[in-house]
């Protein structure tokens, strides 16, 4: 998964021979603007110019991972739209569970992500020492994290710093992320704006309220490991 994710990142910068420049030409590929996942209960769609990459999307019954990038890059077609900000978006959809909803967990989440367990949950290789939590904030029922991950499992071509959001969708918790490129970095303000646009679109497309039984009001590390890993378990 990580190798292919790096390829997707690189496609934002150079569409290469897939668009008929230089070494050859590839036929256009499917680049849908939206997809229903997790037993068709959650609709994933990005801001303008972002499309679903079907080859990197994993919908495994009750949970899912969806990758979005430039429509033009994914479709191998310059006639397709591309986002104003070069970035890769991801959305991970959890299974329904008895974990507390995000809206009831804001103070606990702030505390959790300052701990070693919280930083390990954010790390791509599970090593808390590679992660620095730069900033956390909650706004309108969404918990936002700005983090820096220098792990050896860092995505090829991706900047170390990224924005992530956690929020409730139809009784599930969704983790949405925005990754910039090392050679075309996104400043913190712009990255946050892109993530807000992505989050707002997802919440607008999924308007049902949470259907979840609240257990103890604190985050559980195994759950966050499932949310933050790209391939759902």
- Domains of the chain: residue spans and CATH: 2-228 (3.40.1000.10)
Average pLDDT over all residues of the chain:
78
Is pLDDT at 127 greater than 80 in this prediction?
Answer: yes
pLDDT, average across residues 113-124: 88
The span from the CA of 194 to the CA of 128, in Å, is 26
> What is the predicted pLDDT for the residue at 218?
44
The span from the CA of 40 to the CA of 45, in Å, is 13
Tokens at residue 116, please?
A: 């070693």
The residue with greater pLDDT, 11 or 41, is 41
The residue with greater pLDDT, 230 or 199, is 199
Is pLDDT at 6 greater than 70 in this prediction?
Answer: no
pLDDT, average across residues 80-86: 91
What contacts 213, CB < 8 A, 6 or more positions away?
98
State pLDDT tens for residues 135-185. 999 999 999 999 988 876 555 566 778 999 999 998 899 999 999 877 788
Is pLDDT at 220 greater than 70 in this prediction?
Answer: no
pLDDT, average across residues 30-36: 93
> What is the predicted pLDDT for the residue at 138?
94
> What is the predicted pLDDT for the residue at 176?
96
- Closest by CA to 213, choosing from 124, 97, 103, is 97
Q: By percentage, how much of the chain surpasses pLDDT 90?
A: 48
């Amino acid at each position: 998964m990580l190798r292919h994710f790096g390829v997707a990142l690189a496609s934002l910068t150079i569409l290469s021979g897939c668009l008929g420049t230089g070494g050859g030409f590839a036929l256009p590929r499917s680049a849908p603007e939206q997809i229903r996942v997790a037993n068709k209960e959650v609709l994933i769609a990005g801001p303008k110019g972002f499309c679903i990459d079907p080859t990197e999307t994993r919908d495994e019954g009750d949970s899912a991972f969806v990758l979005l990038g430039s429509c033009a890059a994914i479709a191998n077609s310059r006639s397709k739209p591309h986002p104003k900000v070069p970035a890769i978006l991801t959305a991970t959809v959890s299974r329904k569970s008895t974990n507390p909803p995000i809206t009831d967990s804001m103070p606990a989440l702030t505390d959790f992500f300052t701990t070693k367990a919280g930083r390990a949950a954010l790390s791509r290789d599970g090593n808390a020492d590679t992660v620095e939590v730069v900033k956390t904030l909650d706004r309108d029922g969404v918990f936002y994290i700005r983090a820096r991950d220098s792990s050896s499992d860092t995505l090829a071509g991706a900047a170390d710093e990224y924005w992530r959001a956690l929020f409730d969708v139809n009784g599930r918790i969704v983790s949405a992320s925005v990754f910039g490129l090392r050679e075309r970095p996104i400043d913190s303000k712009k990255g946050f704006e892109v993530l807000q646009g992505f989050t707002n679109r997802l919440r607008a497309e999924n308007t049902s309220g949470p259907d979840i039984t609240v257990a103890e009001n604190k985050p559980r590390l195994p759950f966050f490991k499932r949310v933050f890993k790209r391939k759902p378990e």
